[in-house]
Amino acid sequence: MTIKYTEDHEWVREKGDLHVVGITDYAQEQLGEIVYVELPAVGGAVTQGAEAAVVESVKAAGEVKSPLSGTVAEVNDKLEDSPELVNQDPEGKGWLYKIRAENPQQLDALLDADAYRELVRPLA
Amino acid sequence: MQRTPLHPLHLEHGAKLVPFAGYEMPLNYSDGILAEHLHTREFAGLFDVSHMGQIDIRAETAAAAAATTEIALALESLIPADLLSLPAGRQKYALLTNAQGGIIDDAMLQNLGERFVLVVNAACKQQDFDHLRRHLGGATRASFPLVMALSDDRALLALQGPAAAAVLAELGHDLDDMKFMAVREMEIAGAACVVARSGYTGEDGFELAMQSADAERVARALLSHPPVKLAGLGARDSLRLEAGLCLYGNDITADTTPAEAGLNWAVSKARRAGGERAGGFPGDHIVLAQTPPNAAPVERLRVGLLPGGRAPVRAGAPLLDADSNAVGEVTSGGFAPSLGCPLSMGYVQPQHADVGAELHAKVRNKRLPVTVTALPFVASNFYR
């Protein structure tokens, strides 16, 4: 199972013919307690590096930039009533949306787990 | 970046430190903002607000009784409140105004008998002190010189919540006879403290000022009581927002008049048109025209706003009427932990300021419904 990361603290993981997107543990930790998640519309287009979702904590709003371009295939409806799932399980139950990727090769330019760990190590 | 005397205590409790008004301050501790907020409403939160300014004002001569009157009269030339009738052992909410009637800071003014202390916002403290010195230093309305000092060796702690009084009672101070806005000097954990029954959360509670060197000892003594937990600036902000209290710099600024901000109650009757000492403060002609018994129209009014959805509507969001005309702006907004929903505060044109008025807020290019709501959102629990 390949998981890739962006420098903006999103993760993306291949699942079947779709890609699942979320924010990293570091990102949720920085934001604090999440109280609202704004998800993209199913069927809508998202562009790599452009805002696709918003994760709001008690204190601030954080934009989620899509790690890949494509069409939104599914969103995590559970976050509407339980946005805290993003805090509790950011890389699991707190996933945000799934995309049908336009060009999966966009993944190649993203960070692997080790590179991402190196990125956040000095920030922690 | 400056640090408060409680910095080591903050680190010990897992504080997330953020820059605020030139200080490294705790946003929250390891429990998080929501837990700290709810704990304060149910038990007691301890906040380090040592970044705030404490300006000591006294008369050079020792004639105490006369001095109090002189200091009060001098301060009335900068503050639109009746300070002459503020007795020793009481404090009053005080606005400092500019020549346009705008609010250059909001503060608490304490009468400690032979001296007054003005507790001001951190970001404004040097400017406030310069303002006071410029207007009251040297040749002033006072018949003898005032001596003013902006303390750099004082700390300020706020113990807030329904359990606050019981905690001070356990420390030997039964304060049943000390009402909201009373001020008393007392010793806590061996430290000389100026204690005011007030705060910024809407709850009963106390603000304790002491020498910086004593702050950690006092804080640890308070924290040794189980109902007391540290709470950071994040909880302080969500608590004051629920309580409908203004954050200086957001909800009131140098461009806001008391009438626009809904703070006419801070303009005492004695200082209003027809009062015994009407006017006589910066911007008085503008402030008095807008304040009863006068009623000059204002361009905007501060209101509470309840978003219809779950998305927080934060400061800066434009407010629109049904025809998408801009009719105001949100000045504070976020999530209300005690209510479990978002809430906001802002300014709207007076014709849209009635409770129940339906407006929209523009957030990330979406129009979200908001309803004008009475303040405070959460009923206050002061000890009156």
Strand partners, B357: none
Q: How far is A101 from chain B (nearest CA, A)?
A: 25
In sequence order, what E strands does B212-270 have? 228-230
Q: Does B337 touch chain A (CB under 8 A)?
A: yes
**What secondary structure does DSSP assign to chain A, as a single string?**
--EEE-TTSEEEEEETTEEEEEE-HHHHHHH-SEEEEEPPPTT-EE-TTSEEEEEEESS-EEEEE-SS-EEEEEE-THHHH-TTHHHH-TTTTT--EEEEES-GGGGGGSB-HHHHHHHHGGG-
Q: What is the mean pLDDT of residues B36-50?
A: 98
With pLDDT > 90 as the criterion, what percentage of chain B qualifies? Answer: 93
pLDDT tens track for B149-205 = 999 999 999 999 999 999 999 999 999 999 999 999 999 999 999 999 999 999 999
Q: Does B334 touch chain A (CB under 8 A)?
A: yes
Q: Is the per-residue pLDDT at B147 higher than 90?
A: no
User: What's residue B234's pLDDT?
Assistant: 97
Q: How far is B312 from chain A (nearest CA, A)?
A: 8
Q: Is the per-residue pLDDT at B139 higher than 60?
A: no
Give pTM, 2 decimals.
Answer: 0.95
Q: Is the per-residue pLDDT at B63 higher than 70?
A: no
User: What's residue B54's pLDDT?
Assistant: 98
pLDDT tens track for B67-125 = 788 899 999 999 999 999 999 999 999 999 999 999 999 999 999 998 999 999 999 99
Interstrand relation of B53-59 and B90-97 (parallel, antiparallel or unpaired)? unpaired
B179 in Cβ contact with B384 (< 8 Å): yes
**What secondary structure does DSSP assign to A62-94, as a single string?**
EEEE-SS-EEEEEE-THHHH-TTHHHH-TTTTT
ipTM over 0.85: yes
**B33: nearest CB among A33, A36, A54:** A33
User: What's residue B251's pLDDT?
Assistant: 98
Judging contacts by C-beta atoms under 8 Å, the chain B residues touching residue A54 are 364
Q: Report the Cα B250 to chain-centroid distance in Å.
A: 12
Average pLDDT per consecutive 10 residues, chain A (124 residues; last block may be shorter):
92 96 96 96 97 95 97 97 97 98 94 95 82
Judging contacts by C-beta atoms under 8 Å, the chain B residues touching residue A78 are none
Judging contacts by C-beta atoms under 8 Å, the chain B residues touching residue A58 are 33-34, 234, 238, 334-335, 337
- Other beta carbons within 10 angstroms of residue B289's beta carbon come to 16
B310 in Cβ contact with B363 (< 8 Å): no
pLDDT tens track for B209-251 = 999 999 999 999 999 999 999 999 999 999 999 999 999 999 9
**B32: nearest CB among A33, A56, A80:** A33
What tokens were used for B121? 């916002």
pLDDT tens track for B298-328 = 999 999 999 999 999 999 999 999 999 999 9
Q: Is the per-residue pLDDT at B140 higher than 90?
A: no
Angstrom distance (rounded) from CA A64 to CA A86: 13
User: What's residue B143's pLDDT?
Assistant: 62
Q: Judging by beta carbons within 10 Å of its beta carbon (0-12, 13-18, 19+), is residue B59 exposed, middle or buried?
A: buried
